Every structure is written in C-alpha cells, then in structure tokens.
Amino acid sequence: MTDFIDFIKKGEFRITICLSCRKKIWPPSSFCSYCLSKTKFRKIKNGGILREYVYSYRNPDYQKITFGIIDLSGILLIGSICATTVYRGMKVKMTSCGISPDGKIFYHFAPSFEKQ
Amino acid sequence: MRKVAVASYATSNFVRNINSSIFELACQPCLDILKDSRLGRDEVDAVLFSSCSPEQYSSAIISEMLGIKPKIAYRMDNLCNSGTNTIVSGMSYIAAGLCDSVLVVGAEKADSKANRLEWDITRGSFISPVYWAALFAKAHMQKYGTTEEQMAMVSVKNRKNAIKNPSALFRKPVTLEDVLSSRKIADPIKLLDCCSTCNGSSALLLLSENKAKRLCENPVWIKGVGQRTNSASFSKTAYDLSSISAAKNAARDAFKMARLKPKDMDIAEVHDAFSILEILAYEDLEFVDKGEGGKFVEQDHLSINPRGGILGCGHPVGATGVAQTAEIVKQLTGNAGQRQIKPCNNGLVHNLAAAGTSATIIILGVN
C-alpha cells in the first residue's frame, strides 16, 4: 500500500498484477489474493465505464458534485466525474489522481471519446 | 452442539453528549444485569467487549471494574457488525462447552472513528458511508422503481417507533414532508434518511441450557446464526448494487440452522443506518420478493425495528448489534411495554458492516 501512495503522490495510478496468474489485485497488495503469488505494480488503461452515479452536496459550499462507481479495466473504484451530461454506461477516462490537502486520495474522471 | 440462551439484557440511554469514559459507559448495562442476575460474578466465564474504540486492554479493564475474573476476555472490532459478531463468538464458546456463561457488552462513543473505513482506497475521496448508500439507493430506484417517498417512509416509521423507546436518541416524530424536504446529502439520500452516531452501550448475558434453566425464568434461545464476510473494500461488493449478498447468504445459513423460514419471524431488528438499507434487508431476508422492498414499507409493518431502528435510536457502532438483539429478547419475553408486538415467538437480528461487505443474522425464539 505504501508504494501505491507513493505513485498516487506523483499523480500516477497503478494497481498490482499477479506475476503468476496475471490477475489484477485491487486494492493493491504485495501478494495475489487468488494464487498467493507475488505481485508487481503496473499501469492500467485509464479508460472505463461509469456504472452508477450520484450527485453529492456534502461539502461546505453545498455545491453539486457528481461522483460514481467506475469500471476501470475490470476493477471498480469511486471517483468524481467532471461532465455536463452524465449517464450510466458512459465512457470515461481518469484525468487525474492524487492526494488532496486534507489527506484524502482522489480519482477524477471526465467523458472519454476514445475507443476503449 | 449445546443450546445457548440469552438470559438477561440491558441497554443504556443513547445520547449525543456524555462525560464518562468508554469503560464506564460499557459497565453501565453490565451493572444492571449483574445486580438483577442470580448468577454470581465468579461464575462469569467470559467477558467479550464489542467496540471500535482504540483503548488498550479494554475487556480486561471492564472485567476488573465489574469485579469479574473471567477465563476469556477480549475486544472485538468489526465496525457496525461488531456487536452481532461478538454475540456469535460468545454463543460459540457456550455451544462448544468451553464456557457456561458469557457477558457480551458493546459500547461506543460518538466521536469514534468507526463510521468510516479509512483503509478502503477504492472509495477515493468518497469515504463516508453515505456515498455507498446513495449508490445502492440510486441503483435500486433505477432497477426496481423504488421511490424517495418509500425510503422516507422507513425514516418516518422508525422515528415513530423510537418515541416509545426511552433509550432512543430521537424521541420526536418526523413527517414524510420533513424527510423529503430535509437537506440533500448525496442524492437521493437526504439528511433524515441517515442515522446519527451517538454514545451508547448494551449488554447481554448468555448462558448454557443447564444454567439458564436454573437461573432464568424466561430464557430466549439462539436458534440460528449466519455470518458472511465477502470483502472489506467496496469495490468487491459494488458489482451488484441491488442487494447485499453477505446478508442474503448469512440469512440462508441462519434460517437453515434454526429450521425456520422467513415467514416464521414475528419481529425483526434490521440494520437501517440509511433508509435504503431497510428496504434492501426486506429483500435479502426474503420477507418479500426481490424488488418488492419499497412496496413492503408502504404496508406499515410495525414488527420491523420496533425499538426505532438505528434511524430512531442512533448508532453507537459497537453497541448497535447488542442493542438490536436485546430488543428482540425484550419483545420475545413480553417485556417491551408500550411497544410490545403480539404474538411474538421468533425474532431476527440483521446487521451489516462497511458497505455490506460483511453481515450477521441471528434468529432467536422462545421454544
């Protein structure tokens, strides 16, 4: 997990891949939860599909923030969506990730028009 | 396997502010149990403490404060599911013949960090439970036509039930309009669809059959239990947002063990930290068919969450599962006063943790 944080601090999103069975291990771990072999951090494609989304108002300014659960090359994570129109099944791409000043990890997404 | 009885129970008032330590809070319901029980303190074999508070050696400290020297003493932390997990552990010691009497106590302070799982990086910056609850709610609305009004009715019902519960945090009713017009948190979830964390404690005394028959006039028996832990991260649960599979499978295990069916339940305490979760519980427990949960609440089933649920009582995380079970025992022994449900022979406790990644079901009965 420390390596993951180090990558995220640099704005790089990486997950672990099993060196034996090649499965994606998310959240990252130094060993594979399927075959218990060693894993290695790898970049994955930054394109995904928005499976469900919600508007959040839970912030000091009561601003509308869109967030959703995204299928990113077979792994699921929650990220914010920057888009004027949002719908289920929308193609998205991770535009940035990092750690905010309050110490929270964030993943930002926007619509994608690239072939995935 | 030996039979296990819940011989006595006690629950503190659930309150926003408190001056006492977690240990004093935990001891409060235990004092009520020990003063009333014919069981000597030297006969208590185990003291199991359910809490997410980080204090060291807490179960030994509570034991010392209560003048108990148990064989077994430890704390269990499983977020919202802690209390029910601890009951199943206590039951297991007795069922296996390792103990004859187990004191289970759950306690939590309102400022506990138990309401969020910091480890779960799959949630990104949306770490608060309301976010995953909103995703479940939105998916259920989309797939089955569940409405915001139906979710609001859960809050109205449970807040109404809590009026009759002197231990509950909220003793004032809310209307459908109040809930629907309350501040949006994460659409479709509004402020009054959400529970409040608070200070509170609850305790149970579990006894073996021999001891229960000797010391207890109206024992209630633990007839079936089911526990499932699918994962810890939301990412592993989120493939199906229309139900909570850990609860579904734990319920099947519990019903099988109890040799009972959902229709045999007279009463249930279900996990309603957010109103949508009660609707999901109706379906996961098979009280209704999949997708029918929203309509079920419209029928005003008083036998679900008669103490007021988590929405009405508040949510001292480590105490919740114990308090839910105490309520079912109270109802089954006919001691629930104004909120007594009749007839009442079998009851169920449904509890969840961390986005439904784990669940516990306990079935209790008088025979």
**Cβ pair B332, B349 in contact under 8 A:** no
Are residues B191 and B175 both part of a single domain?
yes
Residue B361 is classified by DSSP as E
**A88 pLDDT exceeds 90?**
yes
The pLDDT assigned to B118 comes to 86
Best probe of the A interface among B116, B117, B119, B123, by most A CBs < 10 A, is: B123
Mean pLDDT across chain A: 93
B80 is an active site residue: yes
Q: How far is A30 from chain B (nearest CA, A)?
A: 15
Contacts for A22 with CB less than 8 Å, ≥ 6 apart = none
A47-56 and A24-25: which strand pairing? unpaired
pLDDT of residue B335: 94
Claim to verify: residue B206 and residue B233 sit in the same structural domain? no
The pLDDT value given to residue B302: 57
Q: Rg of chain A's alpha carbons, rounded to an integer? A: 15
**Are the CB atoms for B284 and B272 separated by under 8 Å?**
no
Q: What was the pLDDT predicted at B204?
A: 98
Q: Quick one: B249 and B295 in the same domain?
A: yes
Count structural domains, chain B. Answer: 2
Per the prediction, chain B carries an average pLDDT of: 95
Structure tokens at B291: 């997708």
**Under DSSP, is residue A74 helix (H, G, I), strand (E, B) or coil?**
coil
Where in chain A are the domains?
2-43, 47-111
pLDDT score, position B175: 98
What does the DSSP assignment read for A5-44? Answer: HHHHHTT--EEEEETTT--EESS--SB-TTT--BEEEEE-
**DSSP state, B7?**
E
Q: What would the mean pLDDT of B163-185 be, rounded to a whole number?
A: 97
Predicted local confidence at residue A106, as pLDDT: 96
Same-domain pairing of B60 and B9? yes
Set B216, B315, B344, B350: catalytic member = B315
Instruction: Tell whether B127 is within 8 A of chain A (Cβ).
Output: yes
Residues from chain B that touch A54, judged by Cβ atoms under 8 A, are: 131, 134-135, 138, 186-188
Q: How much is the average pLDDT of B203-218?
A: 94
Q: pLDDT at position A11, please?
A: 95
Nearest-CA distance A102 → chain B (Å): 10
Prediction pTM value:
0.95
> What average pLDDT does the segment B173-199 reach?
97
Which of B170, B187, B221 lies at the terminal end of a domain, its last residue?
Answer: B221
Percent of chain B surpassing pLDDT 90: 91
Q: Does B282 have pLDDT greater than 90?
A: yes
Residues B184 and B306 in one domain: yes
Banded pLDDT at B168 (limits 50, 70, 90): very high
Is the per-residue pLDDT at B301 higher than 90? no
B80, B99, B216, B344: the active-site residue: B80
Residues B228 and B338 in one domain: yes
List pLDDT tens digits, range B23-70.
Answer: 999 999 999 999 988 899 999 999 999 999 989 999 999 999 999 999
Contact B115, B132 (CB under 8 A): no
Of the candidates B140, B188, B147, the one whose C-alpha atom is nearest the C-alpha of residue B298 is: B147
* pLDDT at B300 exceeding the cut of 90: no
B220-229 vs B358-365, strand pairing mode: antiparallel
Is the same domain home to B212 and B160? no
B239 shares its domain with B172: yes
Contacts A100 to B, Cβ<8 Å: 125
- If asked whether residues B294 and B328 sit together in one domain, one would say yes
Nearest to A78 among B119, B123, B130 (CB): B123
Residue B15 has what DSSP assignment? B
B289 with B215, same domain?
no
pLDDT number for residue B361: 98
Residue B95's alpha-carbon distances to B45, B130, B208, in angstroms, are: 13, 38, 7
Q: Domain of B205? A: 4-113+199-221
Q: What is the CATH number of the domain that holds B207?
A: 3.40.47.10
- Residue A2 clears pLDDT 90, i.e. is over it: no
What pLDDT, in 10s, does the model give residues B66-105? Answer: 999 999 999 999 999 999 999 999 999 999 999 999 999 9
Give the 3-state secondary structure of residue B152: helix
| Residue B271 falls in the annotated catalytic set | no
Q: Are B203 and B107 in contact (CB under 8 A)?
A: no
Q: Do B206 and B301 lie in a common domain?
A: no
Question: What residue of B is the nearest CA neighbor of A60?
Answer: B185
pLDDT at A80 over 60: yes
Residue from A78, A82, A107 whose CB has the most chain B CBs within 10 Å, to mutate: A78
CB-based contact B189:B2 (threshold 8 Å): no
d(CA B287, CA B293): 9
B241 in contact with A, Cβ within 8 Å: yes
Residues of B in contact with A52 (CB under 8 A): 135, 138-139, 142, 241
Task: Write phi, then psi, for B179 (nearest 5 degrees).
Answer: -65, -50
Given B127, B187, B238, which is nearest A55 (Cβ)?
B187
Q: Which residues contact A36 (CB under 8 A, 6 or more apart)?
A: none
> CB of B203 within 8 A of CB of B329?
no
Give residue-wise pLDDT tens across range B323-359. 999 999 999 999 999 999 988 999 999 999 998 999 9
Q: How high is the pLDDT of residue A1?
A: 65
In sequence order, what are the residues at sequence separation of 6 or more whose Cβ sits closer than 8 angstroms to the Cβ of residue B333? B218, B220, B366
Q: Which residue of B has its CA nearest to A65?
A: B186
**pLDDT confidence band for B116 (50 / 70 / 90):** confident
Give the pLDDT confidence score for residue A62 in this predicted structure: 82
Number of other CB atoms surrounding residue B313 within 10 Å: 33
Q: Does A33 touch chain B (CB under 8 A)?
A: no
B51 and B139: one domain? Answer: no
The per-residue pLDDT for B298 is 81
